[in-house]
Amino acid sequence: MEKTRVRDAMSAPVVCVPPDCTVPAAVTLMRQHRLRHLPVVQDGQLIGIVSRGDLREASSKEAINADNYEINFMLNRLKLADIMTRKVLTITPEAFIVDAVELMVENQVAGLPVIGKDGAVIGIITESDLMRLLLVKLKKNGAAVAQQGPANGDGGASPEA
Domain extent for 107: 6-148
What percent of the chain has pLDDT above 90?
65
**How many structural domains compose the chain?**
1
> Band of the pLDDT at 161, cuts 50, 70, 90?
very low
Cβ atoms 55, 99 nearer than 8 A: no
Whether 159 is in a domain gets the answer no
In this prediction, residues 12-34 reach a mean pLDDT of 94
Examine residue 161 and state whether it is found in any structural domain, yes or no: no
CATH number (domain holding residue 136): 3.10.580.10
Element (H, E) at 137: helix 127-148
**Residue 129: enclosing H or E segment and its boundaries?**
helix 127-148
Q: What is the model's pTM? A: 0.78
**Could you give the percent of the chain with pLDDT greater than 70?**
76
Q: What is the pLDDT of residues 62-119, one digit of tens each?
A: 545 555 556 666 666 789 999 999 999 999 999 999 999 999 999 999 999 999 999 9
Residue 158 included in any domain: no
